[in-house]
Amino acid sequence: MMSKKYNVGGKQKRRQQRNRRVFLFGMLSIVVLFILCVWATEKKRAQEERLKENPSFIGAPPFEVELLDINEYSRPGIPLEKINGIVVHYTANPGSTAEENRNYFENLKDSHETKVSSHFVIGIDGEIVQCIPSSEIAYASNERNSDTLSIECCHKDETGKFTQDTYRSLVRLTGWLCQRFGLTSEDVIRHYDVTGKNCPRYYVEHPEAWETFQKDVDDQIQIVEEEIKTEGEAG
């Protein structure tokens, strides 16, 4: 009887030990899971902080976001469901700044003068202003408004030739947008290619300069892809 009693007691003790191990394993699993959650949260927070420090995203040139108010004359708020291309324009207003052109678009809600706008405007000094989200259409490229992004470029004189700063920003912005939306330089066109309008003037009258620009955009796409790869490896 005593032997049987001790045997039962031994089984209970082993069961308690097993239960304790299961409990400890469960607690350890919870702690590990908690640590992983904290790590993932911190990583996400760090990424968000990096984006705050660089709101233009990886590979993009810095730009100011000054969105137009939604209105029927310059920002209709219509979704841009697919981006198949990028259209380059010139302002045809020599000496004007990016901010002045942005404000002109904004004031159309009151003047009702016409319907026109652009997703981005690049100034003579290379500054970039975003006027309309890339998820909405702009009134810039006629029948291609529904599937393209538009970039308006300022210029100094009637020739329509861009300054080096404007050109550099245009290449960087276009290359980044191409990479971001899965486009190539062949998807980057002039307003002229849509309507036959002499816009952007210098690149219509000098097609070889446009070909050089497209090559520069191809190079910039590669640069952006390398920056993204480097950032990913660092993360």
Ordered DSSP codes for 148-212: EEEEEE--SSTT-PPPHHHHHHHHHHHHHHHHHHT--GGGEEETHHHH----SHHHHH-HHHHHH
Q: Quick one: pLDDT at residue 21?
A: 77
DSSP at 142: G
Residue that is written with structure tokens 């841009």 in the block: 80
Q: Quick one: pLDDT at residue 39?
A: 63
- Average pLDDT across the chain, whole number: 88
Cα–Cα nearest to 165, from 218, 97, 106: 97
Q: How many of the other CB atoms lie within 10 Å of CB of 234?
A: 6
Is the predicted pLDDT of residue 12 greater than 80, yes or no? no
> Peptide bond preceding 62: is omega within 30 degrees of 0, i.e. cis?
no
pLDDT digit string, tens, across residues 150-188: 999 999 999 999 999 999 999 999 999 999 999 999 999
State whether the Cα torsion 16-21-24-30 is positive or negative. negative
Give the span between the Cα atoms of 152 and 141, in whole angstroms: 11
Q: Quick one: pLDDT at residue 30?
A: 87
Neighbour-count burial for 174-200, b at 16+ CB within 10 Å, e otherwise: bbbbbbbeebebebbbbbbbbeeebbb
Is residue 51 very low, low, confident or very high in pLDDT (cuts 50, 70, 90)?
very low
Is residue 81 very low, low, confident or very high in pLDDT (cuts 50, 70, 90)?
confident
Is residue 24 very low, low, confident or very high in pLDDT (cuts 50, 70, 90)?
confident
Q: Quick one: pLDDT at residue 93?
A: 97
- Residue 35 is encoded by which pair of tokens? 């640590």
pLDDT digit string, tens, across residues 66-76: 999 999 999 99
Instruction: Give the domain ranges of the chain.
Output: 1-53, 64-234
Burial category of 33 from C-beta neighbours within 10 Å (exposed 0-12, middle 13-18, buried 19 and up): exposed
pTM to 2 decimal places: 0.76
Give me the CATH code for the 64-234 domain, please: 3.40.80.10
Give the span between the Cα atoms of 89 and 204, in whole angstroms: 11
